[in-house]
């Protein structure tokens, strides 16, 4: 068995400058709004994808080892390999990858995403039970819908930027996760924000033990009082539970960004908006709005870097992959692959309804396989319900630039923080 094909030092430097660097600069665990404004101006994801496409043309689409001193690390470049890596997680491809562990242990030291072996199995099962992964609709859906409707009814017509949207979003999230007593507990959300900003630096910053204890203590006390109409009701208030909830709160941030971007797409795409309104009027489960949300995450994935580490030595099409090799799936390379997908740069919710997306193993907005997002159905329900409340009787326009438009390639980098909308009465 030979080793993996390898990128040169110069090519590795290009990957760091064009792909890894901008992703890290934008904030992997907590987005940095000011940096994102710059990345959007530069359309950083477009050059990241070009860099990887060039490497693929040069070396083929097998795993490509990078010249990283002291660490075996490779890029995943073919859709079928993405499918294999995700289907065969957590063994032999563990999501508890070295770099991810260093970052996430800032605020969720016992989180499932950074757990191995039996701990992972137990925590995964716990998450699947609490989030009702296998059910299309969570049994608390009526309560989620009521809380979403109540909170978003407070947003009147007029200008709507991220600064006005986010507080409403977080009041709703705290009510959904913990219950109504947590509605105004912005302090807990802010504490998590601080820890996540530290987590952006992965192992370059020491653990913020005091803030972490304060955050987890507040979560435990909210959990202890959680009523049965909150997701966390009846789940206990132990340390392990608090860590899982830390991940949930973190991940609801991504869902808010997706909601805002989808609203911008619906504001600028009349055909899809009309279809979505018919969907709402039919009262038939918001299937089209869910597809809109999926396509927004395809266009702008909130986890652009899916990381895995191999747990044993592998034979990969005749090449030896050492145990402990880090693997990077950079999803925009696949989600925006215009050499394969005629719809790569357009808003096409239909692909999630007619089977086209499901035939592509590397269209993975919520990851896939046994370590895929266990909250996918809950998120699609929550986000589509919020969008329904917003667009049911109100038109929005986008006043900021870049302004998405049908018939024009959508921007590769789309900064949700600087989108400005206006809601018309
Ligand atoms: C738009 C919103 C969301 C998107 C796009 C999303 C996407 C993802 C992705 C891509 C992963 C895999 C990450 C990796 O392998 O590195 C993941 C994992 C996970 N997500 Fe989500 N997620 C979202 C919201 C949520 C929410 C709101 C929750 C909880 C309430 C949640 C719970 C989890 C958990 C527990 C995992 C870890 C699964 C494991 O390692 O087995 N996610 N999510």
Domain boundaries, the chain: 2-424
Say what the pLDDT of residue 33 is. Answer: 86
Q: Which protein residue has the closest C-alpha to ligand 1 atom 4?
A: 366
Is 237 touching ligand 1 by the criterion CB < 6 Å?
no
| Backbone φ/ψ region at 407: left (φ over 0), alpha (ψ -120 to 50), beta | left
One digit per residue, the tens of pLDDT, for the chain of length 425 reads: 789 999 999 999 999 998 988 888 787 778 888 888 888 888 999 999 999 999 999 999 999 999 999 999 999 999 999 999 999 999 999 999 998 888 777 777 788 999 999 999 999 999 999 999 999 999 999 999 999 999 999 998 999 999 999 999 999 999 999 999 999 999 999 988 888 887 776 655 556 678 888 999 999 999 999 999 999 998 888 888 998 998 999 899 999 999 999 999 999 999 999 999 999 999 888 899 999 999 999 999 999 999 999 999 999 999 999 999 999 999 999 999 999 999 999 999 999 999 999 999 999 999 999 999 999 999 999 999 999 999 999 999 999 999 999 999 999 999 999 999 999 98
Assigned token pair, 153 = 């009814």
Cα of 247 to ligand 1 centre, how many Å? 8
Is 357 touching ligand 1 by the criterion CB < 6 Å?
no
Is 246 touching ligand 1 by the criterion CB < 6 Å?
no
Is 221 touching ligand 1 by the criterion CB < 6 Å?
no
Return the residue matching tokens 């075996």. Answer: 72
Between CA 49 and CA 57 the distance in angstroms is: 12
Is 169 touching ligand 1 by the criterion CB < 6 Å?
no
Q: Which protein residue has the closest C-alpha to ligand 1 atom 17?
A: 373
Say what the pLDDT of residue 204 is. Answer: 57
Could you tell me the sign of the dihedral formed by the alpha carbons of 128, 134, 139, 140, in that order? positive
- Ligand 1, closest atom to CA 115? 40
Q: Which residues of 227-254 are buried (b: 16+ CB within 10 A; e: fewer)?
A: eebbbbbebebeebbbbbbbbbbbbbbb
Is 382 touching ligand 1 by the criterion CB < 6 Å?
no
3-state SS track over 52-87: HHHHHHHHCCCCEECCCCCCCEEECCCHHHHHHHHH
Is 137 touching ligand 1 by the criterion CB < 6 Å?
no
Which residue among 127, 251, 255, 386 is best mutated to probe the pocket of ligand 1, counting the most ligand atoms within 8 A of its Cβ? 251
Is 363 touching ligand 1 by the criterion CB < 6 Å?
no
295: three-class secondary structure by DSSP: helix
Q: Which protein residue has the closest C-alpha to ligand 1 atom 2?
A: 255
CATH class of the domain comprising 2-424: mainly alpha
End-to-end, the C-alpha distance of the chain in Å comes to 67
Cα of 379 to ligand 1 centre, how many Å? 9
Assigned token pair, 141 = 């859906």
State the DSSP code for 357.
G
Cα of 375 to ligand 1 centre, how many Å? 6
Cα of 184 to ligand 1 centre, how many Å? 25
CB 240, CB 123: distance < 8 Å: yes
- Ligand 1, closest atom to CA 120? 41
Is 254 touching ligand 1 by the criterion CB < 6 Å?
yes
- Ligand 1, closest atom to CA 124? 41
Say what the pLDDT of residue 207 is. Answer: 62
Is 179 touching ligand 1 by the criterion CB < 6 Å?
no
Between CA 104 and CA 110 the distance in angstroms is: 9
Cα of 199 to ligand 1 centre, how many Å? 17
């Amino acid at each position: 068995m030979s080793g993996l094909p390898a990128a040169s030092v110069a090519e590795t430097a290009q990957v760091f400058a064009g792909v890894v660097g901008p992703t890290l600069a934008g904030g992997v665990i907590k987005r940095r709004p000011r940096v994102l404004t710059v990345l959007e101006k530069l359309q950083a994801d477009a050059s990241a994808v070009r860099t990887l496409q060039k490497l693929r043309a040069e070396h083929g689409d097998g795993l490509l080892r990078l010249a990283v001193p002291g660490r075996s690390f490779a890029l995943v470049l073919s859709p079928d390999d993405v499918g294999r890596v995700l289907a065969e997680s957590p063994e032999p491809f563990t999501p508890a990858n070295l770099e991810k562990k260093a970052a996430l242990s800032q605020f969720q030291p016992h989180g499932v995403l950074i757990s191995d072996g039996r701990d992972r199995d137990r925590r995964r099962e716990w998450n699947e039970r609490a989030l009702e992964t296998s059910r299309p609709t969570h049994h608390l859906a009526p309560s989620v819908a009521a809380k979403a409707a109540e909170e978003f009814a407070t947003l009147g017509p007029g200008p709507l930027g991220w600064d006005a949207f986010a507080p409403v979003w977080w009041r709703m999230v705290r009510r959904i996760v913990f219950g109504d007593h947590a509605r105004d507990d912005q302090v807990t959300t802010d504490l998590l924000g601080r820890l996540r900003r530290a987590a952006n630096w992965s192992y370059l910053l020491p653990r913020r033990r005091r803030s972490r204890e304060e955050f987890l203590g507040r979560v435990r006390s909210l959990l202890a009082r959680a009523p049965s109409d909150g997701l966390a009701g009846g789940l206990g208030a132990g340390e392990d539970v608090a860590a899982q909830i830390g991940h949930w709160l973190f991940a609801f941030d991504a869902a808010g960004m997706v909601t805002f971007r989808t609203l911008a797409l619906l504001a600028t795409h009349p055909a899809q908006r009309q279809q979505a309104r018919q969907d709402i009027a039919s009262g038939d489960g918001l299937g089209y709005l869910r597809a809109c949300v999926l396509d927004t995450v395809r266009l702008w994935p909130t986890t652009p870097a899916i990381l895995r580490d191999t747990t044993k030595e592998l034979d990969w099409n005749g090449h030896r992959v050492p145990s402990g090799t880090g693997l990077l799936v950079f999803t925009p390379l696949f989600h925006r692959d215009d050499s394969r997908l005629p719809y790569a740069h357009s808003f096409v919710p239909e692909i999630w309804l007619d089977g086209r997306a499901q035939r592509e193993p590397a269209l993975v907005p919520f990851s896939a396989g046994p370590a895929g997002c266990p909250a996918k159905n809950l998120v699609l329900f929550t986000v589509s319900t919020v969008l329904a409340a917003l667009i049911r009787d109100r038109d929005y326009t986008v006043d900021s630039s870049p302004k998405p438009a049908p018939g024009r390639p959508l921007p590769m980098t789309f900064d949700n923080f600087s989108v400005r909308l206006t809601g018309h009465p």
